[in-house]
Amino acid sequence: MNKDTMKEIEISHEYKFKGRIVNMRLDTVKTPEGNVAAREIVEHPGGVGIVALDTDGCVYMEWQYRRPFDDLVYEIPAGKRDKDEEPVVCAKRELEEEIGLLAKEWVYLGVSYASPGFCTEGLHLFLATDLYEGKVNRDQDELLIIEKVPLDTLVDKAMSGEIKDGKTLIGILKTKEYLRRKNL
């Protein structure tokens, strides 16, 4: 079997729930072997994560309560994309809304699939530098604690398991490697 013959063919899909952030559907597919199978899919518009790095080598981080885990989660600034919104436009909006910063330089670090076994969410990651002051404009239900942390400290926290959020892990480690390669 090769990559070209591994795709499934959709037979049908049925929406089980349509919400404000996600839709849930049940797909019936035909596998490459000819079997019929059910696939539960969560549709999500995707989002962005921003590693905002200042001239001192510090990254702006957020502590935010996350209901699914009933815990405070340590994260880079991030947010959900609006329908048909370009990822960089979303990243610029989210950085200003959450942290109150704008950036002159934006580097695209790539996309990460949050949970590709059942969810369509893709997270586009960016490095934002040459930061300057904007205006905070958080959502009504968004309560954040903002910290500035040296990038090397965050790499240590990523490697020790202190950072658990996937987009933050990827963003921090890709930023560190991007900067290493840039200085070669």
Residues 22 and 68 in one domain: no
- Print the domain residue range for 89: 47-182
CA 153, CA 150: separation in Å to the nearest integer? 5
Number of domains forming the structure of the chain:
2
The catalytically annotated residue of 142, 147, 162, 177 is: 142
pLDDT confidence of residue 184: 67
* β partners of residue 86: none
- Token duo for residue 124: 């586009």
Same domain, 25 and 84: no
Minimal CA–CA distance to 65: which of 142, 179, 147?
142
DSSP state of 70: T
Pick the closest to residue 125 from 53, 54, 58, 181 (CA basis): 53
Confirm whether 142 is a catalytic residue.
Answer: yes
Q: Which two tokens stand for residue 70?
A: 């009933």
CB atoms near residue 76 (< 10 Å):
29
What's the mean per-residue pLDDT of the chain? 95
Q: Are residues 61 and 32 in the same domain?
A: no
pLDDT on residue 1: 73
> What pLDDT score does 141 carry?
82
- pLDDT tens figures, 15-24: 999 999 999 9
Instruction: Give the torsion sign (CA, 58, 174, 134, 94).
Output: negative
In the prediction, which pLDDT does 93 show? 96
- Check whether residue 73 and residue 115 sit in a common domain: yes
105 and 78 assigned to the same domain: yes
Q: What is the CATH number of the domain that holds 82?
A: 3.90.79.10
pLDDT digits (tens, 9 = 90+) for 81-91: 998 999 999 99
- Whether residues 54 and 19 share a domain: the answer is no
pLDDT in tens, 128-176: 999 999 999 888 888 899 999 999 999 999 999 999 999 999 999 999 9
Residue of 141, 59, 49 whose CA lies nearest to 95? 49
Q: Are residues 39 and 51 in the same domain?
A: no
Residues 109 and 73 in one domain: yes
Please check whether residue 76 is in contact with residue 50, taking contact to mean a CB–CB distance below 8 angstroms. Answer: yes
pLDDT value, residue 139:
80
Q: What does the pLDDT look like over 40-77, one tens digit per residue?
A: 999 999 999 999 999 999 999 999 999 999 999 999 99
